[in-house]
Chains A and B, each alone.
Chain A
Amino acid sequence: MTGDLEGVHVRWGWWLIALYVLAGLALEALHALKLELYLHPAHEVRRLLWTLAHTHGTLLGLLHLAFAATLRWGYVRPGALCGAASWGLRLAGLLMPLGFVLGGATHHGGDPGLGVLLVPVGGVALAVSVTCCATAASRSRPSAE
């Protein structure tokens, strides 16, 4: 059971890292090419939000791998808390970076586009996930192997 879940989060983790490392590369390219759509002072918010998308996506990928490792070490065992933590983490991995990307794509002066509303939803999911994970880890003891 946990083996399946470990696999899911290992795949999520590496794909998120791959995607948002590539996104980081794209941002560097926007800098290198001095593209106005990214560097113009009017797009200050876009620059900020896309940078946040890159960092959040990459770090959430690492969090998925950490969760997979936690499962493997037996600190979290299958159950309601484990399920909530897993789904919360997946929601956060999807919504938070995507919200930053969309918020930066269609911004209004100094305010992000409405896509940024995905970020707090993802943030709540992340908070629920890490809380469940912490609670589950506190309740369980890994089996001696």
Chain B
Amino acid sequence: MEGLLVALLLAAALIAPLGRVRRQRLRALGACVAVALGVGLPLAVAQLPAASSPVPVETRPLVRPSDGYVGSEGCRACHPGPHASWSASYHSTMSQVATPEAVHGDFAATGLRFDGVEYRVARRGDTFWVGLPTPQGPRWEQVVQTTGSHAMQVYWYATGEGRTLDPFPLVYLLDEGRWIPRNAAFLRPPALQSAPPSESSRWNRTCVLCHATHPQSRMRSFDTADTQVAELGIACEACHGPGEEHARQNHDPTRRYAEYFSPRPDPTIQNPARLEAARSAEVCGQCHAVFYSKSQEDYRRDLELGPGYRPGQVLADSRHVVRCAEDPEQAAPLDRTLADMFPGYMERRFWSDGAIRVGGREYNALLESPCFQGGELSCVSCHELHPRPDDPRPLAEWADDQLQRGGRGDASCVACHAEVAAQGEAHTFHPVDSAGSACMNCHMPHTTYALLKAIRSHTVDSPRVATELRTGRPNACNLCHLDRSLGWAADALTERWGQPRPELDATQEEVPAGVRWLTTGDAGVRALAAWSLGWAPAQEASGRGWIPGYLAEALDDPYVAVRLVGARSLRSFPGLSPAGYDPLGGPEARRAAVAALRAAWRRDVPAPGPGFPHDAQGEFTPRYAELLELRDLRPVDLVE
């Protein structure tokens, strides 16, 4: 419209002299008007409102900033750099309206049949549809929202009950580029994978709390909600607090410049990087933690009005961060209540010594770290939510783990422990600059699990064989030295660090830890072992030749998640992946794949090292079957 208005004004301005112009001038004027309209009309058309959103707005959560929140667009004008890096982060795309830009799944896929049930997906123009199985054929529902954009993507459709969303039972794995049942993407017992419990209104009751900014569930009944959020995804104000007052006050340029040159932080907004360590970590901990409402009243209020915590406040004032005490008598009352009310609550989230077992809850891990308890460690000691402008890394590389530049190295640890770093090999007993000398490989080993992979523990501790014996958590030494036994690790820690040598059974003394975990461990330990067998530093330390024959065991694990992790690790052995192997395939096909992989392995099998239960031809000794008999079969259901 603006363009058309300009064109008309131009024409009107030229009408006045018309009376005095000659014919040729009139023609020139006509040409001018034609040019003006030629330019103006397309501009006017281009600025017409876009066709209404193809995703209906009435039945999905309402996006409306309120209660002092303004939305990230309100931040962009003054903070273009941080806004750009946030836009490139997976936080920004955690929850999105299902537009073609947001949807990564293959909606042209066919043959999505799992456990005898066929699912359908389709794309119609710019809309995406899922076909839910019913006896009468597929019931088509439009996808209105997505969750996730890094590892996997979940699709939600509106139930029509208020603004309630239900999940499509399949998720799309972005790495593999394939659909799998949602419950297979998580480490859940096989029974729950094929018959998952109902998840009606799950997004409104649970997911929204951390996957949107200023979420208000507004549940009207168990499966009806009138959910409203300030913004989908984890946006600026999730970490900086509501920005309305900040924006209002900073419309005044003199105030802005006074703030630029002031050493104190702007009191109208929070900057987690300038908060003291504990307060700063709580900003991340508002989501990256296992937490529980302190009372029923708090729970109801949080669902109605949104969580009461605001960045900069004390997190414990508004919610209870769950901790798992090794001695139940030492547990906080609410933690004891949770453990009593919900059997398995702690085991599904924690190792028995209180270290967190599932990824995404790193604040719990931090709480148990001496560097946090007695030092200044916080999330921003290693991570940065906005890379510096002079950071040469592409934003996509930074976004993968949002680490500071050089954060994968020792810089963050050395900042406080320079004297330890100066000892070099005398401290690490590994060549300087080798993976064995990297601080994190010993003090933050990959012992948490989420998203079909092992993730570094964020509880900073030191390797101890006694801890593994007590908790079952794999020790850092053997997570690299997979070909060595727990007894070997015990010897090394006793000799080098003077740790008392615990008593071990024959399996622990002799069998390489990688083999022992993969055969005797519970499903969570098997997943960690399967991941470690594909980890380059572990392969370098342990040798590669023996791995495929044992990794084959993971390909036929009862847990789909373990099979998926095993298949990913097998990618590091090009040419050995059995043709047509599908982690979600039937048991016969899986067993055939295992046999094919082991046959290929036997053609070039290395001589077995000490404790390996196979002979020089790659045939397993009876010891291998004995190890499988020792498997920990307790169901594992990790709540990521």
Contacts and interface: CB of A to CB of B under 8 A. Distances in A.
Q: Decide whether A and B are members of one complex.
A: yes
A111 B389 contact: no
Contact of A111 (B78, B82, B83, B390): B78
Contacts of A109: 78-82
Nearest to A117: B257
Contacts of B77: 110
Most central of B77, B85, B389 by chain A CB within 10 Å: B389
Interface of A is mostly: helix
Interface string B242-262: 000000000001001100100
A43 B78 contact: no
Most central of A36, A37, A40, A108 by chain B CB within 10 Å: A40
Interface string B76-118: 0111111111000000000000000000000000000000000
Interface string A21-34: 00000000000000
Nearest to B259: A108
Nearest to B87: A41
A42 interface: yes
Nearest to B83: A41
B260 A41 contact: no
B260 A44 contact: no
B257 to A, nearest CB: 7
State which size class the interface on B falls in.
Answer: 10 to 19
A36 B388 CA distance: 11
A88 to B, nearest CB: 26
B78 A42 contact: no
Nearest to A108: B260
Given A36-B390, A40-B389, A111 B84 contact: no
A40 B393 CA distance: 12
A114 B258 CA distance: 11
A41 B81 contact: yes
A81 B253 CA distance: 35
Interface string A94-115: 0000000000000011110010
Interface string B389-423: 11010000000000000000000000000000000
A65 B478 CA distance: 79
A134 B589 CA distance: 90
Contacts of B79: 109-110
Interface in A35-69: 36-37, 40-45
Contacts of B257: 108, 111, 114
Interface residues of A, number: 13
A36 to B, nearest CB: 6
A110 B390 CA distance: 17
A42 B260 contact: no
Contact of B389 (A36, A108, A110, A114): A36
A43 B82 CA distance: 11
Given A36-B389, A36-B390, A110-B77, A42 B253 contact: no
Contacts of A42: 80-82, 84, 389
Nearest to A44: B80
Contacts of A37: 389-390
Contacts of B390: 36-37
Nearest to B81: A42
Nearest to A106: B260
A110 B85 CA distance: 15
B71 to A, nearest CB: 16
B256 A43 contact: no
Contacts of B83: 41
A111 B256 contact: yes
A36 B390 CA distance: 7
Interface in B318-377: none
Contacts of A114: 257
Given A36-B389, A114-B257, A41 B78 contact: no
Nearest to B250: A111
Given A40-B389, A42-B389, A43-B389, A110 B80 contact: yes
Contact of A41 (B80, B253, B256, B392): B80
10 closest residue pairs by CB, A with B:
A42-B81, A41-B84, A110-B78, A44-B80, A42-B389, A108-B260, A40-B389, A109-B79, A110-B77, A109-B78
Interface of A: 36-37, 40-45, 108-111, 114
Given A45-B80, A110-B80, A111-B253, 18 more contacts: A36-B389, A36-B390, A37-B389, A37-B390, A40-B389, A41-B81, A41-B84, A42-B80, A42-B81, A43-B81, A44-B80, A44-B81, A108-B256, A108-B257, A109-B79, A109-B81, A110-B77, A110-B78
27 contacts: A36-B389, A36-B390, A37-B389, A37-B390, A40-B81, A40-B389, A41-B80, A41-B81, A41-B83, A42-B80, A42-B81, A42-B389, A43-B81, A43-B389, A44-B80, A44-B81, A45-B80, A108-B260, A109-B78, A109-B79, A109-B80, A110-B77, A110-B78, A110-B80, A111-B78, A111-B256, A111-B260
